[in-house]
Structure 1
Amino acid sequence: MFTGLIREIGVIEQVRPKSGGAELQVRCEKLMPSLHRGDSIAVDGACLTVTAVSAKGFCADVVAETWSRTIIRWYRRGTKVNLEPALRVGEPLGGHLVLGHVDGVADVVEVQPEGDGKTIWVRPPSSLSRYIAEKGSVALNGVSLTVAAIEGETFSVALVPFTLRETNLGDLVPGSRANLEVDVLARYVERLLGRKVGEEGITLSRLEELGFTARSSSDYRGSPAEL
């Protein structure tokens, strides 16, 4: 479990193909005193397990599913990556609940300067659009962000100067790709309501099935003043 607050920008030293996935060698400094073999760490929002550590960084395996679903397959030596260690009990939840399970790759379509910050317009995979709501939460490359606006197939996020300096989102340009994780709450709501793509949305009959049965005034047994 993570919260979408990046602790360090690491650098990819090596990508070794391995069993349909890869092994990453990542260089970093600030996290190393507290990072151990077996720990979970989010690399651009993808939860990986640390397999080895050294004074200058760590190694982590990437399974085939993660390789095919994330931007990791485009990593090269020198690629900058956002790093966040797993959230510990008692630590502040400064962003939102980020699982580290990347849902897909989003395309950056426009970058607009906004004073010292930037507004970035992103096109998510069409299958994920329904989980994105204005003022809701998303994670781009592991960074917890608020959806500023939605227009057609795209949505925007506002990046403050701190985020531009302390994460790799400051390097995004039109044509860039970013790992996208939608808010897990949206997925659970969909699951609980039993709604799938192409199905009818919330209806009175569906609410009744779930126990939210509306009562008319004729069913009410209280006094008129209580109606």
Structure 2
Amino acid sequence: MFTGIIEAVGNISAIIRNNDDISMVINTNRLDISDVKLGDSIASNGVCLTVSKLTPTGFVADLSTETLKRTAFHSYHVGQKINLEKAMLPTTRFGGHIVSGHVDGIGDIIELKRKGRTLDMWITVPIHLKKFVSEKGSVCIDGTSLTINAVYQNVIKLTIIPHTLANTTLANATIDQKVNIEADMMARYLERLISIDKQESKKNTNVSMSLLEKHGFIV
């Protein structure tokens, strides 16, 4: 579990191809990994990756074909910068929102506009995620917890503040860049509960007034 508050910007130092899947060597730069063990999770551009090996400058993670298919990692290259966050602890200050590290889809940056010291960003959201985004709701973009300022059909507008620009890869965002999107977990579960409730209400429960009366529910 993560918060979407980026701790450091790392970079990919090597990509090792193993048939269909890959192993990725990541330099963590200023991220302190002295407490990280094999099997621990580190969110890398919003994707929960398991540490399979520790190196003097970072860690190695294995990416399955499923991860490559569902995230922007399939287009990444050696030298690419990525946002890093270690898994949260029970004592961690909760500064962002609940982030699982399970990417829901890939978006595209379609417009960027500087506004003072901030950066306005417009991103297309896959159609199946449109129901999970709302004005002033939360969304995770490349591992970064952000607030949605406006929604236009399947396009969301975000405003990136100076601190976020200085401490994440979003400062180097470009038009047509693909980004990992994770919808707000609360919105996902709420939609699921509503969907199940609607399905159940349509079922024939065979409950009649006489049955309720027989068992003492009504008199």
SS at match of 1:194: helix
Matched-pair contact (CA < 8 Å) for 2:72–2:180? yes
**1:148: which partner in 2?**
149
Aligned residue-pair number: 200
- Aligned partner of 1:194 in structure 2 is 195
Report the equivalent of 2:160: 159
TM-score by length of 2: 0.87
Aligned to 1:23: 23
Corresponding residue number in structure 2 for 1:12: 12
When the two chains are superposed, the root-mean-square deviation of aligned CA atoms in Å is: 1.7
Query: Deviations along 1:50-102, whole A, 9 cap, x unmatched?
Result: 01112211100111111101111111110000000000011111000000000
1:108 aligned residue: 109
Q: Do the aligned partners of 1:135 and 1:149 also contact (CA within 8 Å) in 2?
A: yes
Distance (Å, rounded) in 2 between the aligned partners of 1:28 and 1:79: 12
User: How do residues 35-184 of structure 1 correspond to structure 2 at under 5 angstroms?
Assistant: 35-184=36-185
What's the offset of the Cα at 1:19?
A: 4.6
Conserved in 2, the CA contact under 8 Å of 1:32 and 1:56? no
Distance, in Å, in 2 between the alignment partners of 1:178 and 1:9 is 15
TM-score where L is the length of structure 1? 0.84
Conserved? CA contact 2:130–2:153, under 8 Å:
no
Q: CA deviation at 1:34?
A: 2.4
Indicate if the aligned counterparts of 2:117 and 2:161 stay in contact, CA closer than 8 A: yes
Alpha-carbon deviations, 1:160-180, whole Å to 9, x = none? 111111100111111111100
- CA deviations over 1:197-217 (Å, ceiling 9, x no partner): xxxxxxxx95x95xxxxxxxx
Letter of the structure 1 residue corresponding to residue 5 of structure 2: L
Q: Give the Cα–Cα distance (whole angstroms) in 2 for the partners of residues 21 and 129 of structure 1.
A: 30
Distance, in Å, in 2 between the alignment partners of 1:9 and 1:35 is 17
What is the CA–CA distance in structure 1 between the aligned matches of 2:122 and 2:9, rounded to whole Å? 22
Native 8 Å contact 2:46 2:180 kept in 1: yes
Residue 4 of structure 2: SS of its match in structure 1? coil
Say whether the 8 Å CA contact 1:110–1:121 is kept in structure 2. yes
Tell me, yes or no, if the aligned pair for 1:15 and 1:75 is still in contact at 8 Å: no
Q: Percent identity?
A: 36
Which moved further from structure 2: 92-101 or 48-57? 48-57
Question: What residue identity is the alignment partner of 1:136?
Answer: G
